Structure 1
Amino acid sequence: MAATAAIPIFNPQARIHTERLGNGLSCLVVDDALLDPERLLQFAVTQRQAFQPVDFNAYPGIYLPAPREILVALEDFFVRNVRRLFDARRSLHMHCRLSMVTTPPQTLRPNQWICHRDSDGLNAQQSVQASVLYLFKDETLGGTSFYEQIRSVEETAQLFRDAEKFSAADFAQKYSIEPGYIQQSNRYFKQIGRITPKWNRMIFYDGNILHSGDILAPEKLSADPRIGRLTLNGFFTSRRNAV
């Protein structure tokens, strides 16, 4: 995508509302987010062979760094419209990428069977916010679901550690969690909300909230951006508000 700084990318007439989750938490929903979402989709189609397997976290699929003009526009939208709604006083850095969930359920690792946070590794003075822009029209591909832990902090931390190092068989035996994408509450996590995907819908949420892609029809997953679960994922690290 050629740089077109003078042309707005985000829709100034986008419809923004707050979706309430359980436990007093919430998610910001932006409908009709981009002025021309088809342009970003076509970019992904033309760059299909450049997508690479994710090897830096537990995301179960492939990714492509977003064009710089998208990164700049998303950061500007976040600063102007979103940051003040979170514990985010000043933006420190951000990154975004195009992503597609492609991993079959039977080959997922244990750390991909459960929900996760985006805030691991942050110091106490920082917060992280995340965004997902849905760039697919088949809503059965699934949106995003949110969770809270049921067990103690210690038990939950041990589960996350074991998910990183146990074999699939050992993890399933110890925790009685079925292999595959998390789709509902279980013995360790309670689902507190679910955002339905919609073409050109974008959501923003606190990265410390447990969440997962809501993969309800894994048989439809594809590496083809024209029919797969293509999203634009953004991550924003911020300085927390002064107390």
Structure 2
Amino acid sequence: MFNPRPTVRYVAIAGHAPCAVVDDFLLDPDALVARAVAAQARFAVDPANYYPGPELDLGREAALRLDDFFIQHIRRALGAQRTISVAARLALATVAPFELHPLQRLCHRDCAGLAPGVGAAAAVVYLFDDARLGGTSFYRPTQGVDATARVLREAHAGIASEAHAPGYLTASNADFEQLCTIPAQFNRAIFYDGEIFHAAQIDNPALLHPDPARGRLTMNGFFRFRKRIA
């Protein structure tokens, strides 16, 4: 399923582990796109995670194979020792900017509820040809922990801040500074520390489409792991 001889390059992210970038990630990316098209009716919105569109779980076998790749090629760079859990799903961003929940207008992290000694990582595989649909950007808070937590609590409660422009986050604002952007490319995968604030770089939301063959289709992976002891 995945390239057995990948070339992994790293993009530095200030204050964090680097983002690992792997081009030519899937051996047959078109087959996964075709699977998404065939299963389009089974995609569903999960309101619990605030992803701006429907998703489809890829099942345990795909998740374990993704974890095998993570173990062989990625985990050391992200400080992982042993995987605790892994999930893989297809996702299709479709929500129009004016329909976004206030929390969806911000960057986020994939590390809620981590126990001491436990880390998180995430992966995104871009499964669309049009790079204008956007890659992924990374951010850092401009305020302290308490102030940032308050911003996120208010957004979670549906309170839209005047400091945040309506629509997808694509640049620095009063609360978050954009550190870098990884451009999208068909069959490119990125792996990054789940404790980094990040957001899809959707500069052209008019291009979003509910057809997996035309829209911003990605394969997303989520890992929980025991941190490596230095």
Same fold, judged at TM 0.5 (above): yes
Give the aligned partner of residue 227 of structure 2. 240
User: What secondary structure sits across from 2:54 in the alignment?
Assistant: strand
Shift of 1:68: 4.1
1:41 aligns with 2:33: yes
- CA distance in 2 between counterparts of 1:88 and 1:199 reads 27
Aligned to 1:53: 45
Q: For 1:177 and 1:35, how far apart are their aligned partners in 2?
A: 40
Greater C-alpha Rg: 1
Amino acid at match of 1:55: P
Distance between the aligned counterparts of 1:76 and 1:204, measured in 2?
13
Q: CA deviation at 1:25?
A: 4.3
Alpha carbons 1:119, 1:128 under 8 Å: kept: yes
Q: Which residue of 2 aligns with 1:115?
A: 107
Matched, 1:63 2:50: no
Query: Residue in 2 aligned with 1:211?
Result: 198
**Counterpart AA for 2:52:** P
Question: In the alignment, what sits opposite 1:131?
Answer: 123
1:165 is aligned to 157
Residue 18 of structure 1 contacts residue 28 of structure 1 at CA under 8 Å; is this kept in 2? yes
Residue-pair matches, total: 230
Letter in 2 for 1:217: N
Aligned mates of 1:35, 1:20 — CA distance in 2: 27
Determine the C-alpha separation between the residues in 2 that align with 1:88 and 1:21.
17
> Does the residue aligned with 1:78 lie in a helix, a strand or coil?
helix
Shift of 1:15: 2.1
DSSP-derived class of the 1:97 partner? strand
Contact kept, 8 Å, 2:10 with 2:20, in 1: the verdict is yes
Where does residue 101 of structure 1 map in the other structure? Answer: 93
Q: 1:154/1:68 Cα in 2 relative to 1: closer, same or farther (>3 Å)?
A: closer
Identical counterparts, % of pairs: 40
Are the equivalent residues in 1 in contact too, given 2:17–2:77 (CA < 8 A)?
Answer: no
Once the two structures are superposed, what CA deviation does each residue of 1:219-243 show, in whole Å capped at 9, x if it has no partner?
A: 1111101000000000010011225
> Which residue is 1:201 aligned to?
188
Report the secondary structure of 1:205's partner residue. Answer: strand
**Structure 2 length-normalised TM:** 0.96
Distance 2:99 2:206 in 1: 13
Opposite residue 177 of structure 1, the aligned amino acid is H
Corresponding position: 1:192 with 2:184: no
In structure 2, what is the Cα distance between the partners aligned to 1:80 and 1:23? 25
Q: How far is 1:84 from its partner?
A: 1.4
* Alpha-carbon distance between aligned partners in 2 of 1:25 and 1:89, rounded to the nearest angstrom: 15
Measured against aligned partners, the alpha-carbon deviations of 1:131-183 in whole angstroms (never above 9, x if no partner) come to 0000000000000000001011111110011011134xxx234xx21111000
Matched residue SS, 2:122: strand
After superposing on structure 2, the runs of 4+ consecutive aligned residues of structure 1 that deviate more than 3 Å are 22-25
- In 2, the alpha carbon distance for the partners of 1:89 and 1:13 equals 22
Query: Is 2:120–2:222's contact at 8 Å kept on the other side of the alignment?
Result: yes
Letter in 1 for 2:161: A
Give the letter aligned to residue 83 of structure 1: R
Q: 1:150 aligned to 2:142?
A: yes
Which shifted more, 79-88 or 210-219? 79-88
Q: CA deviation at 1:24?
A: 5.5
How much is the aligned-residue C-alpha RMSD, in angstroms?
1.3
The letter for the 2-side match of 1:222 is H
1:67 Cα deviation (Å)?
4.4
CA contact (8 A) 2:120 2:194 kept: yes
In structure 2, relative to structure 1, the CA distance for the partners of 1:198 and 1:24 (3 Å cut) is same
Equivalent pair of 2:84/2:226 in contact (CA under 8 Å): yes
**CA apart distance, 1:14:** 2.5
The answer to which of 74-83 and 132-141 deviates more is: 74-83
User: Which of 7, 10, 19 pairs up with 1:18?
Assistant: 10
